């Protein structure tokens, strides 16, 4: 794998993306966070270990996130519930990730408005183009 | 220098053995590709994180298996989380047992769940020993260029 070939051009407006990554598993949070920064050195990744923490972060943050990437199976509020709250309250695109490969979950995620669905384990090629799902207002500033 | 080369050869062989014996899969290679000069121990750090966090999940599954009647939905959810974590570090045999466990949950097969869980724990421990030994030798050997690796 040639990670250099996959990185965004430095200084590109698409490069300055702010992502909120949500998963109750810190191993996966670390891996996905590292993958994101490897693919795009200018991305800013904030992590949360629960849906409620994620909502707190979104409410406090004044600058605003461009994209939320969330696991589905989490204790308490699950990923699809978080997806609905984020879209309704913040209008930020949400990508759902899960080790659950059932078509039913994929379909439900997309029907509820997920921008995309990624199966775990997350690979670099899964994240390579996620910048295109970031908030449309950001893309329009290119 | 010769001792260093011997250690490097040992690291290569131990690494190859992890794949040949089915302990890890391609996802482990993905983790290795995230390792660089700024993050030279990334794989070991991730694996350490995995064993730290998964201990809690395994304990929860054990407690859930002691209840009567068994709550198969809860067991399935717990094992699903563990499966996701295990697959993210490329723990192939552990993941396979997690999948088997999930199938027993769907079938409402308590005995099957118990057997799968015991097998999973054996694979989990075996992998831990293999990886700890591998990382220990890798640390002694120091960094090597990627041309020295074979898969």
* Chain A partners within 8 Å of B39 (Cβ): 34
Q: Is A50:A76 a contact under the CB 8 Å cutoff?
A: yes
Cβ partners under 8 Å of residue B1, min gap 6? none
Interval A60-117: pLDDT, tens: 986 689 999 999 999 899 999 999 999 999 999 999 999 887 889 999 999 999 999 9
SS3 call for B134 = helix
Percent of chain A with pLDDT over 90: 61
Query: Burial code of B37-74, b = ≥16 C-beta within 10 A, e = fewer?
Result: eeeeebbbbbbebbbebbeebbebbeebbeeeebebee
CB-nearest to A27 from B39, B77, B88 is B88
- For residue B14, with 0-12 CB atoms within 10 Å meaning exposed, 13-18 middle and 19 or more buried, which class applies? middle
Best mutation site among A27, A34, A124 for testing chain B: the one with the most B CBs within 10 Å? A27
Q: Which residue has the higher pLDDT, A13 or A108?
A: A108
Written as six digits, the tokens of B17 are 């053995």
How far apart are alpha carbons B31 and A103 in whole angstroms?
27
Peptide bond between residue A121 and the one before it cis (omega within 30 degrees of 0): yes
* Chain A partners within 8 Å of B54 (Cβ): 27
Asked if B30's CB is within 8 angstroms of A27's CB, the reply is no
Domain boundaries, chain B: 2-141
**Unique residue bearing structure tokens 């690494």:** B15
Asked if A123's CB is within 8 angstroms of B84's CB, the reply is no
CB-nearest to A73 from B53, B80, B87 is B80
pTM of the model: 0.85
ipTM of the complex: 0.84
Nearest CA in chain A to B44: A27
SS3 call for A86 = helix
pLDDT at A15 over 80: no
Interval B13-32: pLDDT, tens: 999 999 999 999 999 999 99
Q: What is the mean pLDDT of chain B?
A: 92
pLDDT at A40: 84
Interval A46-60: pLDDT, tens: 999 999 999 999 999
Interval B94-128: pLDDT, tens: 999 999 999 999 999 999 999 999 999 999 999 99
- Residue ranges of E strands in A24-141: 44-48, 67-71, 94-98, 116-119
Interval B76-93: pLDDT, tens: 999 989 999 999 999 999
Interval B30-57: pLDDT, tens: 999 999 888 889 999 999 999 999 999 9
What mean pLDDT comes out for the span A17-45? Answer: 92
* Chain A partners within 8 Å of B77 (Cβ): 73
Asked if A38's CB is within 8 angstroms of B90's CB, the reply is no
pLDDT at A128: 87
Q: Which fold has domain B2-141?
A: 1.20.120
pLDDT at B148 over 50: no
């Amino acid at each position: 794998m040639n990670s250099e070939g996959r990185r965004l051009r430095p200084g590109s407006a698409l490069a300055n993306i702010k992502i909120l990554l949500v998963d109750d598993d810190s191993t996966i949070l670390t891996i996905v966070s590292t993958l994101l920064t490897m693919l795009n050195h200018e991305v800013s990744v904030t992590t949360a270990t629960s849906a409620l923490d994620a909502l707190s972060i979104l409410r406090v943050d004044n600058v605003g996130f461009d994209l939320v990437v969330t696991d589905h199976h989490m204790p308490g509020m699950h990923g699809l519930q978080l997806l609905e709250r984020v879209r309704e309250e913040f209008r930020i695109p949400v990508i759902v990730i899960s080790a659950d490969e059932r078509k039913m979950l994929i379909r439900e995620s997309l029907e509820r408005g997920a921008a995309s669905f990624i199966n775990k384990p997350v690979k670099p090629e899964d994240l390579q183009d996620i910048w295109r799902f970031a908030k449309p207002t950001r893309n329009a500033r290119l | 220098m010769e001792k260093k080369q011997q250690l490097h050869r040992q690291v290569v062989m131990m690494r190859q053995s992890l794949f040949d014996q089915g302990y890890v899969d391609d996802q482990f290679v993905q983790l290795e590709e995230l390792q660089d000069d700024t993050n030279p121990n990334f794989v070991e750090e991730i694996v350490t994180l995995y064993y730290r966090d998964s201990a809690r999940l395994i304990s929860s599954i054990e407690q859930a298996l002691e209840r009567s009647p068994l709550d198969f939905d809860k067991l399935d959810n717990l094992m699903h989380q563990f499966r996701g974590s295990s697959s993210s570090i490329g723990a192939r045999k552990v993941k396979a047992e997690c999948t088997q466990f999930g199938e027993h949950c769907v079938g409402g097969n308590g005995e099957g769940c118990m057997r799968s869980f015991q097998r999973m724990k054996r694979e989990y421990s075996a992998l831990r020993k293999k990886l700890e030994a591998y990382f220990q030798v890798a640390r002694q050997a120091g960094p090597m260029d990627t041309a020295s690796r074979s898969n």
